[in-house]
């Protein structure tokens, strides 16, 4: 039977031909990659029908689409492959996958479809990793990953907002580590989905509730071990941005040995397990208490050192004072001695000076007395010579004589006598009487006149 048979074909005949052609055209299975769509709503059906599509890089417009089916018999195979990849992801809408498929034509629907045989998880992982790196770069550039690290971490983080599944293993590990410390932690737990499609939204909501509540020292996001599946929900831009906006530090405890999530990167710090996250808080409080003890020791030491220093200085000052006082006293003593010496010497000197002055006056008195006597006797001698000169006896001895009238009157001029008068002339050794003969009245020399 050929395609060009003149006979008219029925639809089933035609579809049978198409199926044969396709089967010949795709004798082997092919690897096909694309983005899953329509999977989630069918995931619980025995045979899962969905689409794989290719989008334009810029506009994200779908440029090609094809239907796929995972038959119930293949589900186990695919799950086994994913389990070998540590359940890093599961099949869901919007992820890029690489399937090994048989190209098939289903005659009842007249539709080409791919029968999924297997999956290459490394492709998806690579895509996820790529996407994650792109997101990290973007958030880093925006400062989103550093914002929460800039929040000051309280010295004593005792009031804790806990984001985890209430009463889960993670919750119990975390709380028992805290209560084992004996410190007064207060935990406010927001029961939160930590896996699955709704985890991202729930975590964001929990963060926002704690942001609104306030009064917390720190917020902890943690989840337990178990399946690594759905870890990718923490590679979330929304969670990272909400953490960045938190006023208190956020500690994450969702990390995995080999996989650090974007939530971890955006947090103030991250830990591998809930226990480790709790321990970091216990250590913080313990460190503060130890620091307090050390500080109080330091304070005591410093205070003691200060007191000792002051004491030393005081002692030194006392010594200095003593020395200064001693020198001052010594100086004063010397001064006093000097004054004393002056006191003993000066009055005696004064007394001796006074004695000398009196002595000098004694001498002055006697010398003045001598001078006085000398002058007095000289004056007396002078008087005597004058008197002797004036004595009439002495004059008579020199040849002068006195002539008296008989009545004794001394004759001083010629008028006193007349011729015939008797006069007596007195000489030094006697006298004689004579008679006046002539009187001559004329001026004579004094000597003559007396004669």
Partner 1 sequence: MKEIKYSKAIEKLDEIIRRIEQEEIDVDELSVKVKEAVELIELCKSKIEKAECEVRQVVDAFQEGES
Contact footprint for partner 1 (CB under 8 A): 340, 343-344, 347-348, 351-352, 354-355, 357-358, 361-362, 364-365, 368-369, 371-372, 375-376
- Triad 146, 242, 58: Cα angle to 5°: 85
Question: Quick one: tokens of 34?
Answer: 């694309």
Q: Are strands 62-70 and 48-55 parallel, antiparallel or unpaired?
A: antiparallel
DSSP-assigned letters across all residues of 214-265: ---SEEEEE--SS--TTGGGGS-HHHHHHHHH-SS-EEEE---SS---HHHH
Minimal distance, residue 384 CB to partner 1, in Å:
16
Residue 20 or residue 340: which is nearer to partner 1 going by CB?
340
Minimal distance, residue 381 CB to partner 1, in Å:
15
Give buried/exposed letters for 344-383 (b at 16+ CB in 10 A, else e): eeeeeeeeeeeeeeeeeeeeeeeeeeeeeeeeeeeeeeee
Minimal distance, residue 362 CB to partner 1, in Å:
5
**What is the spatial distance between Cα 15 and Cα 113, in angstroms, rounded to a whole number?**
13
Per DSSP, the three-state class of 155 is coil
Minimal distance, residue 343 CB to partner 1, in Å:
7
**425 near 401, Cβ under 8 Å?**
yes
Residue 247 or residue 342: which is nearer to partner 1 going by CB?
342
Minimal distance, residue 385 CB to partner 1, in Å:
20
Q: Is the dihedral of CA 260, 261, 265, 271 positive or negative?
A: negative
Strands of 360-400, DSSP E: none
Minimal distance, residue 357 CB to partner 1, in Å:
7
According to DSSP, the residues that pair with 112 across neighbouring strands are 105
**What is the spatial distance between Cα 149 and Cα 70, in angstroms, rounded to a whole number?**
46
Residue 329 or residue 369: which is nearer to partner 1 going by CB?
369
Minimal distance, residue 389 CB to partner 1, in Å:
24
DSSP category for residue 410: B
Per DSSP, the three-state class of 353 is helix
Residue 7 or residue 344: which is nearer to partner 1 going by CB?
344
Question: Quick one: tokens of 31?
Answer: 């690897």
Minimal distance, residue 338 CB to partner 1, in Å:
14
DSSP category for residue 428: S
Minimal distance, residue 433 CB to partner 1, in Å:
48
- Cα–Cα distances in Å, from 279 out to 267, 327, 381? 16, 70, 148
**260 near 234, Cβ under 8 Å?**
no
């Amino acid at each position: 039977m050929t395609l060009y048979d003149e006979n008219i074909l029925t639809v089933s005949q035609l579809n049978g031909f198409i199926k044969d052609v396709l089967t010949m055209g795709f004798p082997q299975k092919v690897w096909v990659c694309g983005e899953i769509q329509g999977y989630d709503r069918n995931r619980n059906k025995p045979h899962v029908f969905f689409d794989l599509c290719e989008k334009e890089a810029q506009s994200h417009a779908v440029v090609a689409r094809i239907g796929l089916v995972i038959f119930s018999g293949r589900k186990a195979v695919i799950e086994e492959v994913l389990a070998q990849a540590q359940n890093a992801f599961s099949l869901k809408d919007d992820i890029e996958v690489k399937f090994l498929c048989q190209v098939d034509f289903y005659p009842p629907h007249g539709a080409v479809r791919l029968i999924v045989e297997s999956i290459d998880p490394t492709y998806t992982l690579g895509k996820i990793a790529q996407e994650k790196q792109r997101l990290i770069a973007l958030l880093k550039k925006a400062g989103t990953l550093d914002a929460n690290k800039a929040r000051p971490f309280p010295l004593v983080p005792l009031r804790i907002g806990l984001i985890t599944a209430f009463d889960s293993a993670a919750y119990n590990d975390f709380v028992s580590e805290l209560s084992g410390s004996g410190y007064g932690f207060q935990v406010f737990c927001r029961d939160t989905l930590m896996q699955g499609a709704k985890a991202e939204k729930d975590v964001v909501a929990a963060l926002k509730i704690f942001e609104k509540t306030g009064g917390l020292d720190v917020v902890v996001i943690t989840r337990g071990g178990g399946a690594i599946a759905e870890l990718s929900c923490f590679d979330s831009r929304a969670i990272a941005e909400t953490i960045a906006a938190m006023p208190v530090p956020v500690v994450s405890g969702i990390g995995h040995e080999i996989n650090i999530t974007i939530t971890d990167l955006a947090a103030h710090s991250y830990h591998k397990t809930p226990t480790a996250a709790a321990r970091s808080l216990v250590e913080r409080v313990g460190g503060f208490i130890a620091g307090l003890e050390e500080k109080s020791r330091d304070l005591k030491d410093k205070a003691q050192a200060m007191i000792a220093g002051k004491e030393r200085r005081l002692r030194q000052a006392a010594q200095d004072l003593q020395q200064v006082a001693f020198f001052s006293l010594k100086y004063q003593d010397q001064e006093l001695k000097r004054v004393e010496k002056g006191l003993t010497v000066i009055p005696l000197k004064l007394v001796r000076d006074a004695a000398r002055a009196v002595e000098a006056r004694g001498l002055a008195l006697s010398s003045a007395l001598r001078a006085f006597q000398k002058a007095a006797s000289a004056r007396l001698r002078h008087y005597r010579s004058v008197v002797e000169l004036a004595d009439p006896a002495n004059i008579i001895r020199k040849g002068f004589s006195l002539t008296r009238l008989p009545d004794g009157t001394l004759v001083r001029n010629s008028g006193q006598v007349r011729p015939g008068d008797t006069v007596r002339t007195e000489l030094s050794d006697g006298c004689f009487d004579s008679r006046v003969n002539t009187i001559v009245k004329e001026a004579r020399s004094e000597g003559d006149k007396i004669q």
